[in-house]
Every structure is written in C-alpha cells, then in structure tokens.
Amino acid sequence: MSFADYKQIYDRDGFVIVRQLLGRGEFAELVDNLHRLIRDVVPTLPDSHAFYHDRSRPETLKQMQFMGVDPFFREYTHQPIWKALAEALIGEEANSQDPEWFNKPPSTDLATPPHVTPPHQDNYYFNLKPANVVTIWMALDRVDDENGCLRYVTGSHREGFRPHDASNVLGFSQGITDYGLADESRESRIHLEPGDVVAHHGMTIHRAEANHSATRNRRAFAMVFKDVSCRRDEEAYARYQATCKAQHERMGLKT
C-alpha cells in the first residue's frame, strides 16, 4: 500500500483519514490482544497505566498507556504498515512510542470533566523540537457525533502553541485556555468505521465531546511516531510532568 497521496492533505489540514489500514485478520488479531490485555493485565497495573471514570467499575476504563509492558504491544510498535504510514506523512524515518488505548464508555453524557476531551495539542505534552510527530488513531468502534468523535481545527498545526493549563481530566491533563467560537467554526468532525484511522500532526488542535450514546463505546487504539531528528525540550517536559503529577495527586492516584 502506498501512502504518498495522503501527505498533501496531511500537510494542508494537519490531519488525514485512511480507511481500513489493516487487513481483516490483522485487525482481528489486534482487537483480540486488546481484549486479553484488558482482561488479564490491566487489573495488575498501577493507577498511572490505566485510568477509569470510576475504578470500582471496570467497564468504565477510559485509557491505557505504557502498553509496552506487554510483549505483544511492545513488538507492535514495529508493525510495518503503521510505520510506513507514519514515515510517508512525516517524510523521514520515524519510531513509535508505546501504544495507547482510549475509550468513552456509553452514557458518560455529562459535558464536564472527565467526560469530555479538552481541546489540546499533543506536542504540548511531548515537548518535541522540531514538532515532526504524528499520532495515528484507529477506531475500534463506529465513531460519530453521538459517541464523541474527534474534532480537529483545520490548519491549526501551522499556527504555533496555544496557551494550556490544568484541565483536571485524567489522560489529558492540559487543555487550551482560550478556545472559542472562532476555533469551533473551523472544526472538522471525524466519522470513522472500525479499522479506519485518522493521523494528526503533533501541533494540530483537537478535542472530543462526551459520549451521549446509551449503548455504544467509543474505543480507539493509537500510536505516536516521531522522526529521528526530534529532540525533547527537557525543561518544558519537566514542567509538564510536575503539573501532571500534582493533578494526579489531587485526584488520589497512586503511581
């Protein structure tokens, strides 16, 4: 599969949709291993690896990170088709960080934290220079307005950092503070079928509403690829980590 045609759209808009990235068997294998991880491994992980809306209710699991603790997902960072897409978009050799998993469980319909994903730029968390980093986000369920699709501010990856501050949302600890109607007017709502991906630049502003569905999850699997020339701004990253840790402590999380 050639991804060269997607780069022009990605460079223009800051994101691009690729339908059915994996073959049927490859997608089934990924989903089966995600189910296994949630069933067998997640109960053993510290709070910082798996976030819940309500930890007493396993069905409210909302995010997994540091998934490389599992051999399948540690090896999955080298999966060729994901790497090929990332390198076509970035234009350089790229390496992946640990995969992540996201969910908006059904009936989390409050328009307040922790149910919304605040507007943010991924590179505010990553602190990479240059910001040549792409997140590839694969839908595991049908994704639409009702269950909390991603919303991108088209072209925002070319406009620099926006001010962020503490959001009090687990997994998305910083949110843009001056997001307004002008931003909303530029939003593109991304509707996906299971197996479709949307890839976005590290500086692209995006957010998601709550899941207003009574029955449907909004699950996704994602990998972040950065080019080999990226270097982390250690000072900025230390500030972000300190803020994140303070929020987790206020929420009672154990690391």
Pick the CATH number of 6-250 from 3.40.50.2300, 3.40.190.10, 3.90.480.20, 2.60.120.620: 2.60.120.620
**CA Rg value for the chain:** 17
Rounded CA-CA distance 129/234 in Å is 10
* CA dihedral over 241, 242, 243, 247, signed as positive or negative: positive
pLDDT digits (tens, 9 = 90+) for 42-89: 888 877 787 887 777 878 888 888 899 999 999 999 999 999 999 999
CA atoms within 13 A on the CB side of 152: 24
Q: Which residues of 86-125 are buried (b: 16+ CB within 10 A; e: fewer)?
A: bbbbbeeebebbbbbbbbbbbebeeeeebbbbbbbbbbbb
Domain range annotation of the chain: 6-250
Q: What pTM value is reported for the model?
A: 0.89
Give pLDDT, residue 191. 98
pLDDT digits (tens, 9 = 90+) for 138-169: 999 999 999 999 999 999 999 999 999 987 77
